[in-house]
Amino acid sequence: MVDVVLETRDLIKAFGSVVVLNGINIQVRFGECVAICGPSGAGKSTFFRCLTLLETPTGGDIIFRGESLLAPGVDKQQIRQQMGVVSQQFNLFANLSVLENITIAPIKVLKKSPEEAAKEAVELLSTFELLDKATQYPHQLSGGQQQRVAISRALAMSPAVILFDEPTSALDYHLRNDVQKTIKDLHNRGITTIIITHDIDLAEGVATRILHMQEGKLV
């Protein structure tokens, strides 16, 4: 059980009388790349938001590295630092340059020096072939470049796991292949990834395990 990085136990989320997640059980091990597929309205994004604690589950539990995230007094900020999140719309900070997008959390949260954070950011940008974009702003980048900046931003926090929410939904065919390659590279580097997607081709192309969600349940 030691190698399980993230686990949900009978996870339930309801909005009023509408039950969106109905007892989700999942275990993700270190180094795995798990894809959770399903049609629109299956509850995938709500599951993603529960895992990242943007929504508080109605019932059940989420265990991250052996610690319950829903236990009273748990430091959510501390937990979030260890989970990299790349959301559907990338959500890059519009007022910050690419470099600042990547360095802000290491500087403000991990208390790294600006020089150290910038050095690590430049290394990440170099890995993702974005070094020439370091001083540009998000609106000056293509969808694929924004995606890679969002991944770099998540990786800058050295997370234990990276969660992707519909990583290819906003991208064209070529960019989709780029993203697939990027996720594969992350997996090859031993980074645990969870992908929420309705793109079955992407899931088959990158995941070590594919789970299907339908009407709030894993089937």
Partner 1 sequence: MVNHTYSLLKGYSLMFLKGLGGSLYLTFGALAISFCLALVITLIRVQNEFSGRFRFLNCLVGGCVTLIRGTPALLQLLVMAYVVLIRVKHAGTVAIITFGLNSAAYVSEILRAGVNGINKGQYEAAITLGLGSDQALRFIIMPQVLKNSIPALLNEFSGLLKETALAGSLGVLDLTQAAMRLRASTFQAFTPLVVAGALYLGVTFVVGRLIRQAELMVKRRATRRNQENVERAMQNMSVNG
**Residues of the shown chain interacting with partner 1 in the complex, contacts defined by CB under 8 A:** 52, 54, 77-78, 80-81, 83, 85, 87, 89, 91-97, 99-100, 103-105, 108-110, 114-115, 118-119, 121-123, 131, 134-135, 153-154, 157
Contacts 24+ apart (CB under 8 A), 168-173: 168/197, 168/199, 168/202, 169/88, 169/197, 169/198, 169/199, 170/88, 170/89, 170/143, 171/143, 171/144, 171/147, 172/143
Supply the minimum distance, in Å, between the C-beta of residue 180 and partner 1. 22
Supply the minimum distance, in Å, between the C-beta of residue 77 and partner 1. 5
Supply the minimum distance, in Å, between the C-beta of residue 58 and partner 1. 16
Virtual torsion, Cα 127, 130, 134, 136, nearest 10 deg? -160
Using CA atoms, how far apart are residues 202 and 90, in angstroms rounded to an integer? 18
Q: Which residue has the tokens 């979030």?
A: 80
Grouping H, G, I as helix, E, B as strand and the rest as coil, residue 37 is strand
Supply the minimum distance, in Å, between the C-beta of residue 201 and partner 1. 26
Using CA atoms, how far apart are residues 129 and 35, in angstroms rounded to an integer? 26
Supply the minimum distance, in Å, between the C-beta of residue 85 and partner 1. 4
Grouping H, G, I as helix, E, B as strand and the rest as coil, residue 105 is helix
| Nearest residue (CB) to partner 1, 84 versus 216 | 84
| Nearest residue (CB) to partner 1, 87 versus 197 | 87
| Nearest residue (CB) to partner 1, 158 versus 208 | 158
| Nearest residue (CB) to partner 1, 88 versus 177 | 88
Estimate to the nearest angstrom the gap between the alpha carbon of 34 and the chain centroid.
12
| Nearest residue (CB) to partner 1, 51 versus 218 | 51
Supply the minimum distance, in Å, between the C-beta of residue 91 and partner 1. 4
